[in-house]
Structure 1
Amino acid sequence: MKKLIMLLCVLAGGAHAADNTGLTATVAKLDAEMFDAFNHCDKPGQLDKYASYFDSHIEFYHDNGGVTWTRDVMIAQTKAHVCGKYRRELVAGSLKVSPVKDFGAIATGSHIFCQVGGNTCEGIAEFTLIWRLRDGVWQVTRALSYGHRANN
């Protein structure tokens, strides 16, 4: 019966992998690497490394900051408002990854923001990242950060 259900899912074009472990591991690794660069973006080369994870025409939607339409503007804002001031931490167990057929993946989760040089993590928010795999390279094409609130 289980094989029949899997076959019907494949034939219907809705093949949802029972085991998404490989894709989830890939996106989790990308998330960790990208935000390690973000968290150290005041160090030489790290802001450029962080930028490399984004398509040049990134759309970044932030509930408090508005919409950013290009990587250059997004990175300039990161440099001005984040680098050396805040770090991002993924809330353990919150990352969820879903495949997007012939494109890449959607990652959602929660993250907190902490002041650099202290143990204060005052803000928490939800995020959605749309990852595209093209020519062996993963990049974020759309990013949403929303529901910002105090981390009590």
Structure 2
Amino acid sequence: MNRIAPFFGILLAAMAASAAAASGAGSAASDELALTRTVTRLDAGLFDTFNHCDTPGELQKHAGYLAKDLEFYHDKGGVTWTRAAYLANTEKNVCGHFRRELVPGSLEVFPIKDFGAIEQGWHKFCDLKTGQCFGEAKFLIVWRQQAGKWEATRIFSYGHRPIVSP
């Protein structure tokens, strides 16, 4: 019996280690789900204000999602180096003209340790007067969490192409 006791001790220790690892994996999955929910909510807020930026006060709300030193990279329009320049371009070219829609099922979120997250996916653009969607593109947003606040620091919109009707 003395030979069996150490075996059971090792077996119990291995089972405990396995349970702890499984618990940690569950915690990591829970953290990723929470991050995805947070970034999904941020995306919805960012683009709700973008889509309604011709309504008084909405462009200022949109600015609240953006870092002052925002960099915006657009394959067709070039680079915008500040939040102020991005907002001026948005007011001139977007507000009252078109809206952005997230392509369902395309959103992916990846954590950045001790910083925030990367969001990527596909979006399409639709004319406000006709409701007709005319283009789509890939996007990537780098979100920073600082002092409990999330803000977009880098936005990429690229691979723009027309939507071809079936």
| TM-score (norm: length of structure 1) | 0.89
Structure 1 distance, partners of 2:78, 2:121, is 20
What is aligned with 1:137? Answer: 149
Residue from 34, 40, 50 that aligns with 2:62? 50
Aligned ranges 1:53-132 → 2 under 5 Å: 53-132=65-144
Question: Rg larger in 1 or in 2?
Answer: 2
Q: Share of identical aligned residues, percent? A: 52
| TM-score (norm: length of structure 2) | 0.82
Aligned ranges 1:28-43 → 2 under 5 Å: 28-43=40-55
Structure 2 distance, partners of 1:142, 1:77, is 16
Q: Does 1:22 align with 2:34?
A: yes
Q: Deviations over 1:28-74 (max 9, x none)?
A: 00100110000000000000001111100001100000000000000
Structure 2 segments unaligned to the other structure (5+ residues): 1-13
Alignment length (residue pairs)? 146
Structure 1 segments unaligned to the other structure (5+ residues): 11-15
Structure 2 distance, partners of 1:112, 1:48, is 23
- Which structure's residues are more often helix, by fraction? 2
- Helix, strand or coil for the counterpart of 2:124? strand
Shift of 1:103: 0.3
- Helix, strand or coil for the counterpart of 1:23? helix
Give the superposed CA RMSD: 2.2
